[in-house]
Amino acid sequence: MIFSNLKCALLIRQCGMVLLGKHLTYNQLRTFRNCVLINSKQSVTLSKNRPRKLSGFVLDKYSSKKLCGLNICRSQMRGYCTDDQPKHVNVGTIGHVDHGKTTLTAALTKITSEEGLSKYVSYEKIDRAPEEKARGITINASHIEYSSRKRHYAHTDCPGHADYIKNMISGTSQMDGAILVVAAEEGPMPQTREHLLLAKQIGVKNIVVFINKCDEVDQEVMELVELEITELLTDFGFSNQCPVIFGSALLALKGDNSELGKKSIWKLLDALDSYIPMPTRDFTSPFLLPIDSTFNLPGRGTVVVGTLKRGVINKGDPADLLGFDINANTNVKDIHVFQKSVASAKAGENIGVLLKGIKGNDIERGMQLVYAGSQVLTNSYEASVYFLTKAEGGRSKPITSKYIQMLFSNTWSLTCRIDMIDGEMAMPGDHAKVRLTLLKRMSMNEGQPFTIRENQFTVGTGIITKILGSATFTHLNKYKINI
């Protein structure tokens, strides 16, 4: 029996002194045969037979792939490395329906799992809803994880179908960078353009392009598609130096070792590592979690899921559940990061939070879980808005006060009345100061971005500039919708 009395230890980086780290349980240690345990005064070499009564020692990481001379998989290392700011990045796939976004997501998990960097998640498990399987399309944004050789990624697979653009907006709002998937045999299509527009408006600045299905076309077509995509990226304000990777996600899934198969997936990961910068996180403000989904955990309670926008959340923290006129008090009972229970989570992580005393039917997607007392509910805000021109996909007619449409922000959407502060009208292409009146009270912050959509088109994008007191009205529908 190995390490029979060693209950836990700390895994650290070697920096000339003992650093704080995370606890390893006995079960996580028992597979190690020969390694070095150190404390602040001495180091001891352990064999599988000795010693049996050590406690309070520290496991020291000597290199990125070895633990004291013992080869272990990188996924075992990743969860316990103690960098002050772990290299965690949120990315996702965007693009037209049926261009291979979900297939690429599955390929990323499979190829990285072969080196112990992740757990393979099949196409069927990503598109898990019955309607998704029946129609062969992604409807809800799905979240999975994997690691490259340098970073850990939380990946959102966004729906490409026009009918589910609301879910795409929700998924994109959680990204630090995006993978634009374009099928080589079709090139850029309507949702390719709309996804790029929405990604730009939401604040995604860095795009890596994956031209998929390259095994079905010749080199000349691939080059033409690359030129077309580069021009499109420039039109939407992205850099024309965005990395472009040619490949076939399906070939990679089948184990093909060619340049268009597995090698293209590694090229994509290398491009993500080098091109998408590490985001700046706010770890000091009170935590804020926009809720993307919720489910019931039998015997335990209600879990809310989302990407932590700011702050640090801990077990036991008092919290408020805000949104859609609801202000409910609760406590954080447990926190899970990709099905692993943790004591705390930091901004940028996709988490599930078990809440105390909250029923599932009390929660709507788009509500926010915040530290108790840190946010207010109101339905009235001042904002700065840019109204898109017809060429940008917006309106051709002017926008006047009492204009009522849907407002999208973070993971929610709600009917909103827009009134001009200076004057009564704004033309497409204008920047305007406006007052927003929401149908229900929500929790928004100064600087928070939002998008205004009319039917299937984005007509404006803006940011909150001032939080106002709640407006009172009897029937929002009494105002005429100006179209």
Cα–Cα distance for residue pair 343/351, rounded to 1 Å: 12
Please give the helix or strand (H or E) that residue 24 lies within, else none: strand 22-25
**Of 161, 205, 356, 440, which is the active-site residue?**
161
**Of 101, 195, 213, 309, which is the active-site residue?**
101
Cα–Cα distance for residue pair 302/306, rounded to 1 Å: 14
Bridging pattern class, strands 318-323 and 368-371:
antiparallel
Q: Annotated catalytic, 155?
A: no
Contact 11, 21 (CB under 8 A): yes
DSSP per residue, 120-158:
---HHHHS-SHHHHHHTS--S-EEEEEE-SS-EEEEEE-
**Of 102, 294, 411, 461, which is the active-site residue?**
102
Cα–Cα distance for residue pair 272/257, rounded to 1 Å: 20
Identify whether 159 is preceded by a cis peptide bond (ω within 30 of 0): no
Contact 36, 68 (CB under 8 A): yes
Tokens of 350: 């996709």
**Of 22, 82, 98, 282, which is the active-site residue?**
98
Q: Annotated catalytic, 256?
A: no
Q: Annotated catalytic, 102?
A: yes
Q: Annotated catalytic, 88?
A: no
Please give the helix or strand (H or E) that residue 111 lies within, else none: helix 101-113
Q: How many CB atoms lie within 10 A of CB 201?
A: 22
User: What single-letter amino acid sits at 236?
Assistant: F
| Residues with catalytic roles | 98, 101-102, 161
